[in-house]
């Protein structure tokens, strides 16, 4: 009877533990990135009353099974369900969700932690942080061969500050000429000309606009591009004599002759040597000399030699409607300030600036573990490594499954939790009946003396 009573006590204790876990799951049903837990039981080693025996031909008796009395129940494990929760759309650029395995890497002076809760924001120093102030770790950018690239290395706190908060001005050195010059459409309009503008930036970010004219020669069946001799600040042509708004090219570039073959593509058979100023080169480029310009403010134009290169390789003469032969600067820009951020599926943070430019600023890698369920929860949606989770290499890996403007919801299944609550209650209730009944039997034993 005493064994039954203690078995009942073990049942109460284990079912109370399971109810505690269920309560924790349900209370965190709306916690971002929360992972639910489950409890499993095992029976306690049984007391053997009689061992098993094999069959005996001498006695004619068969074998017997062991006789054992169980001693109750124990908690076998409390396991984490690391499955991905549902997505909750927030439309906040820095709300992030990992759609699969992995953890965000965060830290403070106490050490490195891991989390699935991607509700991030920028603090006043430009650090990407969690709601509790812990800094999100990632990879910074570096410049390689003139290009901004990500530098995968030991992770460190991501900070969007300093030169990442603005885009410095840059002078234009290369311009792509695109579009279609339809000969028939130009002639049918009563004019043999087509006007186009060239926009370019000086070294301090001022935008200048030069008006150029394409004229069709019906005799030679070719176009002549005549360049303007003036450029207007921000395209303001209201006063062509204002020295603060107009610059004049001291070296007026010669006209460029543009020919097309019978397929409507650029014909370079009669082009000159590469680099000849104002003359189409065999590589479809023309250079314009801006070195002798005098401006009211200290600024330079073009490359180190004051040259801007135009590339005509994408201009055509097809029989469709004439599209403006646009001259788009490939480089050069006005200064810009950071206006917003976006995060791609690869975790790359891109800055959007007031001048329309974009720039790669950092990348958020993730940490993956051989046994993520082996991580130890320490509160605040944080985990630390254990001997059974696997170690963090300090670098992390790139993911292609990150979602911006979305948060991962808790993976608690309420219907399952309520069902578990009912069965747990019944188990607790039955265990309490064991104790009551055992007590009544002991009372009867005491009554035998009467």
Residue 138: per-residue pLDDT: 98
Same domain, 179 and 291: yes
> CA-CA distance, 342 to 125, in Å (whole number)?
19
Query: Cα separations (Å) of 320 from 33, 263, 306?
Result: 56, 13, 37
Same domain, 184 and 291: yes
Q: Is residue 394 part of a domain?
A: yes
Residue 270: per-residue pLDDT: 76
> CA-CA distance, 72 to 137, in Å (whole number)?
48
Q: Is residue 419 part of a domain?
A: yes
Q: Give the number of other CB atoms < 10 A from CB of residue 110.
A: 8
How far apart are the two ends of the chain, measured CA to CA in Å?
Answer: 20
Specify the number of domains making up the chain. Answer: 3
Same domain, 181 and 150: no
Q: Is residue 377 part of a domain?
A: yes
Residue 189: per-residue pLDDT: 64
Residue 322: per-residue pLDDT: 57
Closest residue by Cα to residue 36 from 426, 305, 302, 410: 410
DSSP label of 85: P
Residue 195: per-residue pLDDT: 85
Name the stretches of the chain with pLDDT < 50.
none
Residue 295: per-residue pLDDT: 75
Same domain, 136 and 178: no
Burial degree of 107 (CB within 10 A; 0-12, 13-18, 19+):
middle
Which domain does 313 fall in, by range? Answer: 174-329
Same domain, 434 and 363: no
Element (H, E) at 11: helix 2-27
Residue 278: per-residue pLDDT: 62
Q: Which of 282, 298, 329 is the last residue of a domain?
A: 329
Asked if residues 201 and 175 have their Cβ atoms less than 8 Å apart, the reply is no
Residue 181: per-residue pLDDT: 85
Query: Cα separations (Å) of 30 from 88, 332, 403, 417?
Result: 11, 48, 19, 14
Q: Which two tokens stand for residue 319?
A: 């029989």
Tens digits of per-residue pLDDT, 174-183?
999 988 887 7
Element (H, E) at 25: helix 2-27
Q: Is residue 338 part of a domain?
A: no
Q: What is the DSSP string of 417-430?
A: HHHHHHHHHHHHHH
Q: Is residue 388 part of a domain?
A: yes
Q: Is residue 35 part of a domain?
A: yes
Q: Is residue 52 part of a domain?
A: no
Residues 6+ apart with CB under 8 A from 314: 176, 177, 178, 179
> CA-CA distance, 291 to 203, in Å (whole number)?
13
Q: Which of 303, 329, 355 is the last residue of a domain?
A: 329
């Amino acid at each position: 009877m005493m064994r039954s009573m203690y078995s009942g006590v073990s049942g109460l204790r284990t079912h109370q533990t399971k109810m505690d876990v269920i309560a924790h799951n349900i209370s965190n049903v709306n916690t971002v990135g929360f992972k639910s837990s489950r409890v499993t039981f095992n029976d306690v080693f049984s007391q053997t009353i009689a061992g098993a025996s094999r069959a005996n031909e001498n006695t004619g008796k068969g074998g017997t099974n062991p006789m054992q009395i169980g001693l109750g129940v124990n908690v076998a494990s409390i396991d984490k369900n690391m499955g991905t929760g549902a997505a909750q759309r927030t439309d906040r650029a820095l709300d992030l969700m990992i759609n699969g395995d992995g953890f965000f890497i965060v830290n403070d002076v106490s050490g490195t932690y891991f989390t699935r809760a991607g509700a991030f924001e920028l603090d006043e120093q430009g650090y990407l942080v969690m709601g509790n102030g812990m800094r999100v770790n990632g990879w910074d950018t570096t410049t390689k061969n003139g290009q901004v690239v990500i530098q995968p290395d030991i992770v460190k706190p991501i900070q969007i500050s300093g030169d990442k908060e603005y885009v410095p001005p840059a002078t234009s050195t290369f311009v792509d000429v695109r579009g279609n010059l339809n000969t028939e459409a130009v002639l049918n309009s009563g004019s043999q000309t087509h006007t186009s503008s060239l926009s370019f930036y000086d070294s301090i970010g001022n935008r200048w606009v030069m008006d150029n004219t394409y004229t069709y020669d019906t005799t030679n069946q070719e176009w002549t591009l005549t360049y303007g001799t003036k450029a207007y600040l921000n395209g303001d042509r209201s006063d062509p004599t204002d020295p603060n708004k107009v610059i004049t090219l001291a070296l007026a570039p010669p006209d460029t002759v543009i020919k097309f073959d019978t397929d409507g593509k650029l014909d370079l058979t009669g082009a000159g040597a590469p680099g000849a100023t104002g003359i189409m080169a065999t590589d479809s480029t023309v250079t314009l000399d801006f070195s002798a310009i005098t401006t009211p403010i200290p600024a330079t134009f073009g490359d180190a030699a004051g040259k801007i290169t135009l590339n005509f390789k994408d201009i055509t003469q097809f029989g469709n409607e004439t599209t403006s032969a646009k001259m788009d600067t490939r480089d050069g820009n006005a200064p810009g300030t950071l206006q917003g951020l976006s995060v791609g599926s690869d975790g790359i943070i891109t800055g959007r600036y007031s001048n329309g430019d974009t720039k790669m600023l950092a990348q958020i890698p993730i940490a993956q573990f051989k046994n993520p369920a082996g991580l130890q929860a320490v509160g605040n949606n944080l985990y630390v490594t254990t001997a059974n989770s696997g170690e963090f290499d300090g670098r992390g890996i790139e993911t292609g499954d990150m979602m911006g403007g979305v948060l991962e919801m808790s993976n608690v299944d309420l219907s399952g939790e309520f069902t578990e609550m009912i069965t747990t209650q019944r188990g607790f209730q039955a265990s309490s009946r064991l104790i009551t009944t055992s007590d009544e039997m002991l009372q009867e034993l005491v009554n035998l003396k009467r």
